Structure 1
Amino acid sequence: MHLVFSYGTLQQTTIQLDLYGTTLEGITDQLKDYELLNNVVYGKYPAVRKALNQVVKGTVFNLTTQQLQITDQYEGEAYKRKMLQLNSGIKAWVYIEN
């Protein structure tokens, strides 16, 4: 299983159903020292970037290897996965702008 922190569209149940054929249950968490930027990827999708004393709120999902591969395809080349530590102490994959 793979922990993924989502701050954007992966939190939407309609997106989850389209991608995985099911909805996901997650836990809320925060990414410290990053800020959320809206509409920066292709003019409509969010991204995060380093920013001291800022916090991004989101949800941590536990994905299977197959779901992670589907997520990689969904995020495409505009994003890359980076393992980051969240406020809870959990380490999770976060998709950041490529």
Structure 2
Amino acid sequence: MQALFSYGTLQHSQVQLDTFGRLLEGEPDALIGYQLGEVEITDAAVIASSGKTHHPILNYTGDHDDIVRGTVFSITDAELAQADEYEVDAYQRVSAPLQSGNTCWIYAAAESSHD
């Protein structure tokens, strides 16, 4: 199983049903060193699922005072590939440490640099 941190639309039940065919169970956690920004979505299928033309996006700051709260979901390898398909090109999947001490996958701004 893979740990995936969601801070935006992947927390919505309709997006989960459309993307994974099921509702996900998760635990609250927080990501350190990122701030939330916003990105315009132009993919019609993504807009139809989320109901939004603008989605939140993580921007790496490296500042330990910057915290983004969200949910960690346990998903299969196949579901991680489905999440990759859902996310538009503005996002990249990277591994990141959480406030809990666990590590998980996140979708952050593609132009972000990571340590």
TM-score range, shorter chain: over 0.9
Unaligned runs of at least 5 residues, structure 2 = 42-52, 111-115
Partner of 1:2: 2
Distance, in Å, in 2 between the alignment partners of 1:47 and 1:10 is: 12
When normalised by structure 1's length, the TM-score is: 0.92
Name the CA distance, whole Å, in 1 between partners of 2:82 and 2:104.
17
Specify the alignment match of 2:95 in structure 1.
Answer: 83
Matched, 1:93 2:114: no
Identity of aligned residues (%): 40
1:15, distance to aligned residue in structure 2 (A) = 0.6
Question: Conserved in 2, the CA contact under 8 Å of 1:7 and 1:57?
Answer: yes
- Equivalent-residue separation in structure 2 for 1:40 and 1:69 (angstroms): 21
**1:1-98 correspondence runs (5 A):** 1-37=1-37, 39-42=38-41, 44-51=54-61, 52=63, 53-98=65-110
Q: CA shift at 1:66, angstroms?
A: 0.8
Query: Gaps (5+ residues) in structure 1?
Result: none
Is residue 32–residue 86 contact of structure 1 (8 Å, CA) maintained in 2? yes
**Which runs of at least 4 in structure 1 moved beyond 3 Å after TM superposition?**
none
Number of equivalenced pairs: 97
TM-score normalised over the length of structure 2: 0.79
Between Structure 1 and Structure 2, the one with more strand by share is 1
Distance in 1 of aligned mates of 2:3 and 2:40: 23
